[in-house]
Structure 1
Amino acid sequence: MKIGILKETQKGEKRVAISPNIAKMLIEKGFEVFVEEDAGSSCSFKNSDYSKVGAPIRSKSDIFKNCDVLIKINPFDNDEIEQLKKGQIIMAQLFHKSHPNDMKLIAARGATAFSMDAMPRISRAQDMDVLSSQSNLAGYKAVILGAYEMTKIFPLMMTAAGTITPSRVLVYGVGVAGLQAIATAKRLGAVVEATDIRPETKEQTESLGAKFISVDNTGEEKAEGGYAKAASEDYIRRQKEAVNKSLFQADLVITTAMVPGRKSPILITEDQIKQMKNGAVIIDLAAAQGGNVEISKLNKTVIKHGVKIIGTTISPESVSTNASDLYGKNMFNFIKHLTKDNEFKWELDEEITDETLIVYNGKIRKNGKTE
């Protein structure tokens, strides 16, 4: 089986789907691996790094022409979809619920598509979960970015000139990114609080030494498969009431709340920002899906009412070497799970395959069935 690693084309993207170390592991498993020229150049991987492990460098057109499996991080664009051949298999974060037309175009080419962002949140799939591995880095980096943008330090510091009180950090959303943000902020010495619609996250928050702000979620939809559900307007109102005191005292706020396939919920309004501390910083990690902050803008810094709001994915692009290694290991485990003797098993009823296989041999699958 020939696996092709494509260079990312999305603006600002610095990662690569498979690092040289992971390419070597695939080759040792018996796969042939080909890499588009300069695919890893933005994350410190040279063409020669791939060549040394036995993964030849090829042009994009050559990879599309000769490879059985094509791997990326971000969705395939229209030009790339047009180059797909019948029977070719693609793997990437396709965000298929938000891009149904792209799925139709892929199906029209007679190709097969796996969407990595559709990985079920089950224990067997943890080592294949690209959203978790990348969100982990995003949570860490959000705190580092916040520390850089703040005009205060995080820890308590006693000096001859006086005592510096610790900064206060508030985290919305205690998923993978939120937990890493909490842990990182605590390690840096901040006083940390967090809130989430899922009551089960209280114990996780407190285990990291942070205070959990509880909000009664009676009547709310329960989370399924580990993914957060959209909250009702009533819950959002009650959450604001419970969290406002902490929000208005916070020096750094990190918002991470995202619902798969839907616009991010607004958790902080402009009216609330008006009551925040002058000089406070908000890092909105949900900006790519509309943002958790009413006035945040993706990849922009907005300063309003004395508060600095940074809308970003922070993605992992900013720590692209580590992010590429983790994404690549997820992909290696996924390919290993799907294949036997270097051939796809096509176990369509198996949960991981069923959830991630969106297009199969030119037909879009729905509810576990191929139409």
Structure 2
Amino acid sequence: MALTIGVPRETEPGETRVALVPDVADRLLATVDDLDIRVEEGAGQGAYHTDADYDAAGCLVVGRDATFDADIIAKVAPPSDDEVDRLGEGQVLVGFLSPLERPETAQALADRGVTALAMELVPRISRAQKLDALSAMSSIGGYRAAIGAAERLPAFFPLLTTAAGTVRPARVLVLGAGVAGLQAIATAKRLGAKVFGYDIREPTREEVESLGASFVELEVDIEADQDESGYAEQVEKEKQERQPELLQPHLAEADVVISTALIPGQPAPLLINEEAVAAMDPGSVIVDLAAPNGGNCALTETGEEIVAHNVQILGPTNLPAEMPVHASELYAKTVAAMIEEGLEADAFAPDFDDEIFAESCLTRDGTVQNDRVRGLLGTAEEAKA
């Protein structure tokens, strides 16, 4: 009996990506014997892939019911309540599942006997790099943030010499030197801005400087009356607590600030207070990539673009969806890698003792597998009681 993969049309507002693109589907069909890929009508439309493209790749273009009647369901966004209700015992769901933000969805999937593999839980190990969808999407987000900031800034990014005089380059400050932050730094640098990068983790200095940016170091004065280890810990604690205050003069000098400091499942750390926003020049731009978790800026409104103290503050929640062609292509490759990793004799039978599946597995055998999600569910039950 053929292994079947279903690719539904995404229904979450603003989601334009698709979980498998025709080229990746074609490669999977060539690699795996006795495989059927069912793609819902119109699933690739937002990413500029037609039903005819999928048909030419060897996929079956079907209705929604037939799409969900598959062994493996490949999605981008977490499933809606309706989509959860369509899933059942023994099916496998692969996608971004927002387990720490939506633990109740994990419980619903477990109750229906679904094996759910969360792409954001894939471990950060070298063997799993090809499955790292989170990094791929973060890279797109960082790029898009820099492009969006350049579009909205009422001034040039690069140094420009004209007959009327010379225009100085824009000053761009990127907060957070993870994947998104580093991509934002690289993109702003390519656009000709003078770029500065900050991260509380000192080892990131080398990565920031390797991209041609200047590393912002926050000086903290602490009484040196303890051993070296204790001193370092105290400096770190003091720096964390005083970040908004210490960053304020650097923020005031920036034309653009791109903030990317985000901790999954936790409120985003406050880095930009209202006083810092008020100190920025009129027309300056803040792009807050931490908006889904409340934002690094005190004035950020999730999913909105506002103006406060004559500063433009953007709180995007899904920048990769603004680049659906490449976002879908990269995401599809990670999903295909996840499926291929779990194949055994052309059947999907992952080894849940393997680190990749042990960590990415959100639900299995009727239970929530992830400890942090179980803890969140327990906290929710206690609150109800």
Could you say whether these structures have the same fold, taking a TM-score greater than 0.5 normalized by the shorter chain as the test? yes
Any idea what the Cα deviations from partners look like across 1:169-212, whole Å, max 9, x if unmatched?
00011111110100011111111001112222110000001011
Corresponding residue for residue 382 of structure 2? none
Corresponding residue for residue 233 of structure 2? 219
Any idea what the Cα deviations from partners look like across 1:310-357, whole Å, max 9, x if unmatched?
110352111101100000011111111121222234322211111101
In the alignment, is the contact (CA less than 8 A) between 1:284 and 1:296 conserved in 2?
yes
Quick check: 1:10 aligned with 2:24?
no
Please show how residues 140-289 of structure 1 align to structure 2 within 5 Å.
Answer: 140-215=143-218, 218-219=232-233, 234-289=238-293
Corresponding residue for residue 136 of structure 2? 133
Corresponding residue for residue 227 of structure 1? none
Any idea what the Cα deviations from partners look like across 1:126-158, whole Å, max 9, x if unmatched?
111111101111111111110110111011111
Corresponding residue for residue 87 of structure 1? 90
The one-letter code sitting in structure 1 at the alignment partner of 2:151 is Y
Give SS of 2:266's match.
Answer: coil
Corresponding residue for residue 381 of structure 2? none
The one-letter code sitting in structure 1 at the alignment partner of 2:152 is E
User: Normalising by structure 2, what TM-score?
Assistant: 0.89
Aligned length: 358
Query: 1:125 Cα deviation (Å)?
Result: 1.3
Please show how residues 286-365 of structure 1 align to structure 2 within 5 Å.
Answer: 286-365=290-369
Q: Distance in 1 between matches of 2:332 and 2:233?
A: 40
Query: 1:242 Cα deviation (Å)?
Result: 3.6
Corresponding residue for residue 224 of structure 1? none
The one-letter code sitting in structure 1 at the alignment partner of 2:256 is L
Corresponding residue for residue 96 of structure 1? 99
Quick check: 1:40 aligned with 2:54?
no
Query: 1:240 Cα deviation (Å)?
Result: 2.9
Give SS of 1:346's match.
Answer: coil
Cα 1:367–1:349 change in 2 (3 A) is farther
Corresponding residue for residue 75 of structure 2? 72
Q: Distance in 2 between matches of 1:340 and 1:160?
A: 68
Deviates more, 1:357-366 or 1:132-141: 357-366
Q: Distance in 1 between matches of 2:218 and 2:256?
A: 21
Give SS of 2:202's match.
Answer: coil
The one-letter code sitting in structure 1 at the alignment partner of 2:192 is G
Any idea what the Cα deviations from partners look like across 1:39-82, whole Å, max 9, x if unmatched?
010111000000001001111111222x1000101111111111
Q: Distance in 1 between matches of 2:298 and 2:370?
A: 34
Gaps of 5+ in 2: 221-231, 375-385
User: Normalising by structure 1, what TM-score?
Assistant: 0.92
Any idea what the Cα deviations from partners look like across 1:282-302, whole Å, max 9, x if unmatched?
011111111111111122111
In the alignment, is the contact (CA less than 8 A) between 1:173 and 1:196 conserved in 2?
yes
Corresponding residue for residue 226 of structure 1? none
In the alignment, is the contact (CA less than 8 A) between 1:268 and 1:292 conserved in 2?
yes
Deviates more, 1:338-347 or 1:351-360: 338-347
Give SS of 2:263's match.
Answer: coil
Give SS of 1:312's match.
Answer: coil
In the alignment, is the contact (CA less than 8 A) between 1:247 and 1:276 conserved in 2?
yes
Corresponding residue for residue 24 of structure 1? 26
Q: Distance in 2 between matches of 1:216 and 1:350?
A: 44
Gaps of 5+ in 1: 222-230
Any idea what the Cα deviations from partners look like across 1:71-99, whole Å, max 9, x if unmatched?
10111111111111210110111121222
- Structure having the higher helix fraction is 2
Give SS of 1:358's match.
Answer: strand
Q: Give the percent of matched residue pairs that are identical in Structure 1 and Structure 2.
A: 39
Q: Distance in 2 between matches of 1:208 and 1:90?
A: 38
Give SS of 2:268's match.
Answer: coil
Deviates more, 1:12-21 or 1:96-105: 96-105
Corresponding residue for residue 52 of structure 1? 56
Query: 1:160 Cα deviation (Å)?
Result: 1.5
Give SS of 2:26's match.
Answer: helix
Q: Distance in 2 between matches of 1:96 and 1:289?
A: 14
The one-letter code sitting in structure 1 at the alignment partner of 2:262 is M
